[in-house]
């Protein structure tokens, strides 16, 4: 597990640009096909940007379908940034704060440039003034675009690795199906698209969405009230890991990713703060934190679930 995690993070840790996402899906899909799994690719567009997702195995024959978003974010300049997997609006608000901080930094830099242009050196030399303004323009564009996070262990290189490692053990077992979903890092649009693609295959299937499982104080399995009994059966397979069972009413789940599939479960890690699951290290540049023992315990639980559940 550790070797594969490091390899994925070092070579394919940045999965933001179109070319990087396309190459990631192409390479992993070929490797997974060689393991004996069916491969279904989905290429679409969102605001004219190409998106690449893939489903592996045969969802209609599987005991459960596991999904994780694989696209990665830019590093935040907001020190207090948090990700809330069950609160789309709150996550979006954190991202908006980051955007406005970038704009504020740009305005402060602009004020500095204006002051510099009034110094005798720049006031007397037009070319130097133009160079300064040009450098500022490049810096401002770069600031707004952001720097790609480097490794993204927590969101979601850890989940990508976990599902691949499980596939290596099961080698084409029809009881196991999983997918890598694009267009999830800023908003869960990719999961919604995947729900449309799989709607005829997963009507009575458990769909488990893995988000930010690599680093956090506690692990949570979140679901709707209607899946209380099913959640207990699922958790019985994870004997080597303490997972907190969180049940949400149908009404409260309506505006979350729990509403995308008939039987959705969200597996995530972090801490409970004021009734919200809060994840960190999801947009930090390095994102180095990852609990290998946890990933191995999750793999063992998934293998037990897929292999033994009736």
CA distances from 79 to 25, 96, 119, 129, 285 (A): 31, 13, 34, 34, 12
pTM score, whole prediction? 0.92
- The pLDDT > 90 percentage for the chain reads 75
Do the beta carbons of residue 113 and residue 135 sit within 8 Å? no
Tokens of 220: 């949570």
Do the beta carbons of residue 8 and residue 27 sit within 8 Å? no
- At 147-191, the pLDDT tens digits run 888 889 999 999 999 999 999 999 999 999 999 999 999 999 999
Tokens of 22: 């396309």
Better-predicted residue by pLDDT, 120 or 253: 253
CA distances from 205 to 151, 199, 301 (A): 32, 10, 18
What DSSP character marks residue 154? I
Q: What is the distance between the alpha carbons of residues 221 and 85, in angstroms, rounded to a whole number?
A: 12
Q: What is the pLDDT of residue 44?
A: 84
Q: Which fold has domain 2-75+149-308?
A: Aminopeptidase (3.40.630)
Three-state SS at 310: coil
**Residue 308's pLDDT band (boundaries 50, 70, 90)?**
low
Q: What is the pLDDT of residue 286?
A: 58
Q: What is the distance between the alpha carbons of residues 228 and 209, in angstroms, rounded to a whole number?
A: 17
**Residue 45's pLDDT band (boundaries 50, 70, 90)?**
confident
Lowest mean pLDDT of 45-54, 72-81, 260-269, name the range: 45-54
Three-state SS at 282: coil
- At 61-92, the pLDDT tens digits run 999 999 999 999 999 999 899 999 999 999 99
Q: What is the distance between the alpha carbons of residues 72 and 303, in angstroms, rounded to a whole number?
A: 27
Q: What is the distance between the alpha carbons of residues 217 and 237, in angstroms, rounded to a whole number?
A: 21
- At 201-244, the pLDDT tens digits run 999 999 999 999 999 999 999 999 999 999 999 999 999 999 99
The C-alpha angle with vertex 208 and arms to 12 and 156, in degrees rounded to 5, equals: 20
Helices (H) and strands (E) in the chain, counts: 10, 9
**Residue 122's pLDDT band (boundaries 50, 70, 90)?**
confident
Cβ neighbors of 90 (< 8 A, separation 6 or more) are 84, 276
Q: What is the pLDDT of residue 309?
A: 45
Q: What is the pLDDT of residue 88?
A: 94
**Residue 46's pLDDT band (boundaries 50, 70, 90)?**
confident
Tell me if the bond preceding 156 is cis, omega within 30° of 0. Answer: yes
Mean pLDDT of the chain: 92
- At 10-30, the pLDDT tens digits run 898 999 999 999 999 999 999
Q: How far apart are the first and last CA of the chain?
A: 28
Q: What is the pLDDT of residue 126?
A: 82
Strand partners, 51: 44
Q: What is the distance between the alpha carbons of residues 96 and 1, in angstroms, rounded to a whole number?
A: 35
Find the mean pLDDT for residues 288-302: 92
Q: How far is CA 77 from the centre of its chain?
A: 19
């Amino acid at each position: 597990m550790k070797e594969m995690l490091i390899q994925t993070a070092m070579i394919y840790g940045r999965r933001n640009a179109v070319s990087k996402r396309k190459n990631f899906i192409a390479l992993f899909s070929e490797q997974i096909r060689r393991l004996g799994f069916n491969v279904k690719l989905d290429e679409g567009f969102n605001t004219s940007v190409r998106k690449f997702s893939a489903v592996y195995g045969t969802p209609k024959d599987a005991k459960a379908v596991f999904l994780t978003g694989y696209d990665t974010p830019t590093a935040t300049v907001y020190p207090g940034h948090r990700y809330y997997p069950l609160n789309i609006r709150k996550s979006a608000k954190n991202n908006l704060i980051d955007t406005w901080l970038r704009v504020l930094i740009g305005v402060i830099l602009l004020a500095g440039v204006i002051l510099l242009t009034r110094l005798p050196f720049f006031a007397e030399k037009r070319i130097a003034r133009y160079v300064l303004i040009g450098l500022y323009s490049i810096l401002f564009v770069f600031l707004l675009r952001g720097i790609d996070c480097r490794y993204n262990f927590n969101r979601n290189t850890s989940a990508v690795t976990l599902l691949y490692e499980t596939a290596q053990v099961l080698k084409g077992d029809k009881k196991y199906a999983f997918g890598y979903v694009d267009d999830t890092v800023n908003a869960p649009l990719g999961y919604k698209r995947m729900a449309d693609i799989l709607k005829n295959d997963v009507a009575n299937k458990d769909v488990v969405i893995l988000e930010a499982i690599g680093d956090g104080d506690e692990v949570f399995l979140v679901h709707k009230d209607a899946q209380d009994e099913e959640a207990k059966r699922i958790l019985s397979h994870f004997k080597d890991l303490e997972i907190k069972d969180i049940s949400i009413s149908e009404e409260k789940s309506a505006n979350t990713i729990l509403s995308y599939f008939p039987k959705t479960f969200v597996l995530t890690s972090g801490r409970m703060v004021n009734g919200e699951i809060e994840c960190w290290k999801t947009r930090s540049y390095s994102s180095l934190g990852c609990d290998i023992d946890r990933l191995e315990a999750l793999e063992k639980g998934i293998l037990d679930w897929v292999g033994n559940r009736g």
